[in-house]
Amino acid sequence: MRPGEADGTNAVDRLDLNTVPELNLEALRRAWEGSSPPDLAAYPDPEATELVEALARKLGVPAEWIVVGHGSDEILGLAVRTLVPYGGRAATLNPTFAMYARFLAAHGGATVPVPEAKELPRAALRRADASVYLLASPNNPTGTAYPAAAYRALAASSPRPVVLDEAYHQFAGQDLLPLARAQPNVVVVRTFSKAYGLPGIRVGYAVGAPEIVQRLRAARPPFSVSSFSIRAALSALADDRFVTRTVARARAGRRTLARGLAGLGWKVWPSQANFLLIGPSPEAVRIHRELGRRGIWVRRIDYPGGAAGGCLRITVGSPEQIARCLGALAEVGA
């Protein structure tokens, strides 16, 4: 039985995906109205030139500094394949986005997890026997975003590539693109799946010095981004109002959710993203299961593990979703 079906309904609150509760339907409508059957039936531009040029204008960098891919996942996978020797390693924070380890495993390698700390653990990252630093800002699942100066110091202290995954940067109000412009070993990766409200179109991009970006572009398969996805991303990029509204709502919802969770006795990790990590709790497995039975999907994080138990990562949803989540947690207990 799938979560949410215990009472005979299919209603599920997806608070496990870190997407915003409102899809960017207006961007999709404009993209659809601007498309013709021949546009959608033909192969797309393999370089997504129109989108690359629009991003270059918006971000203030040359077009050759940008590569577009099938979601930021494709870009991150390309970074592993092109910047890490086969069987090599990448230094990451612990805990962090689980896909990093999967990308390395598929490349015959592994991550070197460095425990997250109050300050970016630069010394420990430098000591790691790794070819690349692969860091999310804000970090997933904790929501931690270190100051730009910390990442700048790391990049300046080592010639190794520093890949900064900024999937959630709008919620933190932080922009690490100046580091990519100033440091030739820094690559910033972003997505249209989160604050832009377009997770289904699967568009991501990277910004960095041409010496690195060209390696990603050369390894990317042709036609990986569809014609409609390119149009939808262009439409979203041309109108900042959706992102501005969505980020403001997410920040307000984050405060409401954090207060409610603390009131239920949970340890709430400080977050600058659109999700919160709570715990650890030895009851994490049971609570995760009970929430699912009530139609509330959250992500269980096996961290730190052992007697301390695990954590739960909860996406900041709509006010109604937040209320339902808090009510369900009150029922199942901490």
Q: What is the pLDDT of residues 159-189, one digit of tens each?
A: 999 999 999 999 999 999 999 999 999 999 9
In a domain? residue 155:
yes
CB atoms under 10 Å from CB of 167, counted, come to 25
Do 124 and 271 share a domain, yes or no?
no
Mean pLDDT, residues 282-286 taken together: 97
In a domain? residue 7:
no
- pLDDT higher than 50, residue 6: no
Per residue in 142-161, pLDDT (tens digit) is 999 999 999 999 999 999 99
- pLDDT higher than 60, residue 9: no
- Average pLDDT over the chain, rounded to an integer: 95
Q: Residue 41 is part of a domain; what is its CATH number?
A: 3.40.640.10
- The pTM is what? 0.95
Do 45 and 148 share a domain, yes or no?
yes
* pLDDT on residue 5: 41
Per residue in 309-327, pLDDT (tens digit) is 999 999 999 999 999 999 9
* pLDDT on residue 2: 38
Local confidence band at 333 (pLDDT 50, 70, 90 cut-offs): confident
Do 175 and 215 share a domain, yes or no?
yes
Do 246 and 166 share a domain, yes or no?
no
Among 171, 206, 237, where does a domain finish? 237
Do 58 and 138 share a domain, yes or no?
yes
Do 205 and 248 share a domain, yes or no?
no
* pLDDT on residue 8: 41
| Share above pLDDT 70 across residues of the chain, in percent, rounded to a whole number | 97
Do 201 and 299 share a domain, yes or no?
no
Per residue in 210-264, pLDDT (tens digit) is 999 999 999 999 999 999 999 999 999 999 999 999 999 999 999 999 999 999 9
Local confidence band at 10 (pLDDT 50, 70, 90 cut-offs): low
Do 63 and 136 share a domain, yes or no?
yes
In a domain? residue 82:
yes
> Cα–Cα distance between 236 and 165 in angstroms, integer?
20
- pLDDT higher than 50, residue 3: no
Secondary structure of the chain in HEC code, one letter for each residue: CCCCCCCCCCCCEECCCCCCCCCCHHHHHHHHHCCCHHHHHCCCCCCCHHHHHHHHHHHCCCHHHEEEEEHHHHHHHHHHHHHCCCCCEEEEEECCCCHHHHHHHHCCCEEEEEECCCCCCHHHHHHCCCCEEEEECCCCCCCCCCCHHHHHHHHHHCCCCEEEECCCHHHHCCCCHHHHHHCCCEEEEEECCCCCCCHHHCEEEEEECHHHHHHHHHHCCCCCCCHHHHHHHHHHHCCCHHHHHHHHHHHHHHHHHHHHHHHCCCCECCCCCCEEEEEEECCHHHHHHHHHHCCEECEEECCCCHHHCEEEEEECCCHHHHHHHHHHHHHHCC
In a domain? residue 1:
no
In a domain? residue 6:
no
Local confidence band at 11 (pLDDT 50, 70, 90 cut-offs): confident
Among 217, 237, 257, where does a domain finish? 237
Per residue in 67-116, pLDDT (tens digit) is 999 999 999 999 999 999 999 999 999 999 999 999 999 999 999 999 99
Mean pLDDT, residues 40-68 taken together: 97
Domain count, the chain: 2
Range of the domain at 286: 13-18+242-332
In a domain? residue 8:
no
In a domain? residue 3:
no
- Helix 99-106 vs helix 71-83: angle between axes, to the nearest 10 degrees? 40
In a domain? residue 37:
yes
Do 246 and 208 share a domain, yes or no?
no
Q: In terms of C-beta density within 10 A (0-12 exposed, 13-18 middle, 19 or more buried), how is residue 11 classed?
A: exposed
Do 219 and 105 share a domain, yes or no?
yes
Q: Residue 325 is part of a domain; what is its CATH number?
A: 3.90.1150.10
Do 200 and 232 share a domain, yes or no?
yes
Among 237, 262, 281, where does a domain finish? 237
Do 112 and 225 share a domain, yes or no?
yes
